[in-house]
Amino acid sequence: MKRAAKGLGMRHPKFTVRCPNCLSKIPVEKGSLLTVCEKCGIKYRICWPTPSQPMIRGLAAPLKQEEKRSHAKADGK
């Protein structure tokens, strides 16, 4: 019982995923589609197979210059 009572006072993020690069835990906000590993700085896309289970879907690749320009034109910039 002491062990369970001790764990109740600890504060942990509600949702976490494991970084495939450095294996550290990454906190994920509920409903978030992107997250960044605080240790190695890699950005990942997140999917939610269930409302309480985040999962890394893949790397969040940066947009290429051509894609940035086409998105800017579509937005009217």
**45 belongs to a structural domain:** yes
3-state helix, strand, coil in the chain (%, to 5): 20, 30, 45
Distance CA 57, CA 4 (A): 33
Boundaries of domain holding 41: 31-61
pLDDT at 70 over 60: no
Q: Which of the two residues, 49 and 72, has the higher pLDDT score?
A: 49
3-class DSSP state for residue 38? coil
In a domain, 70, yes or no: no
Q: 75 in a domain, yes or no?
A: no
Place 11 in a pLDDT band, splitting at 50, 70 and 90: low
Question: Is the residue at 57 inside a domain?
Answer: yes
For position 2, what pLDDT does the model report?
47
pLDDT in tens, 15-63: 999 999 999 999 999 999 999 999 999 999 999 999 999 999 999 987 6
Give the torsion through C-alpha atoms of 58, 41, 29, 48, to 10 deg.
10
For the purposes of burial, counting CB atoms within 10 Å of the CB of 35, is it exposed (0-12), middle (13-18) or buried (19 or more)? buried
54 within domain boundaries? yes
Domain membership flag for residue 77: no
In this prediction, residue 65 has a pLDDT band, given cuts at 50, 70 and 90, of low
